């Protein structure tokens, strides 16, 4: 497994196992345990996924020592304040059954972001969190947070996939010392991505799946990748991307797929902001 070194020296496995939408407790526990057994050492969850307890059980029953794993969770909007982070972080730790978190992210760029960040800086200073970062922040918001606080975010987890490549934003984040992390690298199957002719043709050349081609494309950009599957064979397949390299011609072909817009929703949409602000989950 390739590791990426963050701006504070912490190393993070470049391939992570995502748990979004795996909400049934037994399935989530099994998926996490099997992902770790398949070779994943980086597990990503969030307060809003409502599966931290199941993820924690999967970690506990995996048979892998805690210090060999990298665990991420995220602070939801209703907890995005100084006190909200302090209190909800302890609840997340308890649900996960852990004594520390490797990476804590502010999940959305809404609420009292500055207060939340100050709390996260303190928790990191206390050794309860190894790395802190953000998720779904536009570059200007990320730079604002970095420039007006003591600690620059170590990570910004954003949508990156062949249809939303974010090339300029990725370069800007890296220039600030913030490592991009890709959610929805396969665009959740939208636009029949797994049968896209360009990606299929590239995969056939290397005897790889479309998912492996996309993952390799991101790995070669030094972008952390989160992939999700509840099928053991897919978990293993998604890890098997270190035995081939894309050519410049391959990358140029993939570049033609870029539409330059989210495949899901806009964080600048007032209705979406109102929806997130109203989504209370008692987490």
Q: Do the domain assignments include residue 283?
A: no
Q: Which helix (H) or strand (E) holds 142?
A: helix 139-147
Strand partners, 180: 156
CA gap 276, 229 in Å, rounded: 26
Q: At what angle do helices 52-60 and 25-38 cross, to 10 degrees?
A: 40
The answer to whether 216 and 237 have CB atoms below 8 angstroms apart is no
CA-based radius of gyration for the chain: 18
Domain holding 141: CATH number? 3.20.20.100
Cite the annotated binding site for substrate by residue number: 107
Domain span at 182: 3-278
The number of distinct structural domains making up the chain is 1
pLDDT for res 249: 98
Mention every residue, 6+ apart, whose C-beta is less than 8 A from residue 189.
Answer: none
pTM of the model: 0.96
User: Residue 261, Cβ neighbours under 10 Å: how many?
Assistant: 10
Q: Do the domain assignments include residue 237?
A: yes
Q: Do the domain assignments include residue 241?
A: yes
CA gap 72, 181 in Å, rounded: 12
Q: DSSP letters along 226-268, please?
A: EE--S-HHHHHHHH--SS----HHHHHHHHTT--SS-SS--TT
pLDDT in tens, 146-194: 999 999 999 999 999 999 999 999 999 999 999 999 999 999 999 999 9
Cite the annotated binding site by residue number: 107
pLDDT in tens, 35-69: 999 999 999 999 999 999 999 999 999 999 999 99
Is the pLDDT assigned to residue 15 strictly greater than 90?
Answer: yes
pLDDT for res 282: 67
Which residues are catalytically annotated?
49
């Amino acid at each position: 497994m390739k590791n990426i070194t963050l701006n504070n020296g912490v190393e993070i496995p470049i391939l992570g196992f995502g748990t979004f939408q795996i909400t049934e407790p037994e399935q989530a526990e099994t998926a996490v345990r099997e992902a770790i057994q398949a070779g994943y050492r980086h597990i990503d969850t969030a307060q809003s996924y409502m599966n931290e307890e199941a993820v924690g059980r999967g970690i506990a029953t995996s048979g892998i020592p805690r210090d060999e794993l990298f665990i991420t969770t995220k602070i939801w909007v209703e907890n995005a304040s100084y006190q909200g982070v302090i209190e909800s972080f302890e609840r997340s730790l308890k649900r996960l059954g852990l004594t520390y978190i490797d990476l804590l992210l502010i999940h959305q760029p809404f609420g009292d972001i500055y207060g939340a960040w100050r709390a996260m800086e303190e928790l990191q200073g206390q050794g309860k969190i190894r790395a802190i970062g953000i998720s779904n922040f536009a570059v200007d918001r990320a730079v604002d947070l970095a420039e007006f606080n003591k600690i620059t975010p170590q990570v910004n987890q954003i949508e990156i996939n062949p249809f939303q490549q974010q090339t300029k934003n990725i370069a800007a984040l890296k220039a600030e010392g913030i490592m991009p992390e890709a959610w929805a690298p396969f665009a959740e199957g939208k636009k029949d991505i797994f049968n896209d002719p360009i990606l299929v043709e590239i995969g056939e050349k290397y005897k790889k799946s479309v998912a492996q081609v996309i993952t390799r494309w991101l790995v070669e950009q030094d972008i952390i990748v989160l992939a999700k599957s509840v099928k053991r064979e897919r978990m293993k397949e998604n890890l098997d991307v270190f035995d081939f390299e894309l050519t410049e011609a391959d990358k140029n072909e993939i570049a033609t797929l870029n539409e330059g817009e989210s495949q899901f929703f806009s964080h600048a949409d007032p209705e979406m902001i109102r929806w997130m602000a109203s989504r209370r989950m008692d987490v």
